[in-house]
Amino acid sequence: MERATEVAAAVESSVDALVAVLERARTAQQPALPPAQLRVLTIVAGNRHTNMSRLAEALDVVPSSASRLCDRLEATGLLRRVADPRDRREVRLLLTSASRRLLADLQERRRDALAEVLERMPAGARQDLLRALQAFEAAAAPDAVTEADRRTA
């Protein structure tokens, strides 16, 4: 059996290939959105209660940097800032219909690009990959209990 470090190196290489496929799908989109702006839209899409301080925290940047990113997105019609109805001092960030379409289109492009690569793999290898990714996701979960943990319990 391969050592975990050898497997980690192979996984890292595969992740690089995966990222390259996803990046090609992103840059093929017109207009191409810079990665930082895309990250903002993805964060806002994932949490409808995102405000500027939560966004800055999620991006690991100072609030002024997050605000400048939002300025650019707002200027292009991809983001709106509105007063939070629960606390008028807070500004909530909302996606526009244009940004929702952009994210949906990007997701479709990414899935198509991944499907194109997956179709070049033998069916058995695709199934093995799926099982391995599911096992990896389960093991990476914050509350995952490993086999080693069970043996020492």
30 pLDDT more than 90? no
Which of the residue ranges 22-31, 100-109, 138-147 would you say has the lowest mean pLDDT?
138-147
| Strand (E) or helix (H) holding 57 | helix 52-59
Res 41: pLDDT:
96
Distance CA 148, CA 133 (A): 20
Q: Quote the number of domains for the chain.
A: 1
Give me the CATH number covering residue 34.
1.10.10.10
Asked, for residue 22, whether it belongs to a domain, the answer is: yes
Nearest to residue 95, comparing CAs of 29, 48, 28, 26?
48
Res 149: pLDDT:
63
DSSP code per residue over 93-114? EEE-HHHHHHHHHHHHHHHHHH
- pTM score of the predicted model: 0.78
Nearest to residue 20, comparing CAs of 104, 137, 113?
113
Asked, for residue 151, whether it belongs to a domain, the answer is: no
Print the domain residue range for 76.
Answer: 4-141
Which of the residue ranges 58-67, 119-128, 137-146 would you say has the lowest mean pLDDT?
137-146
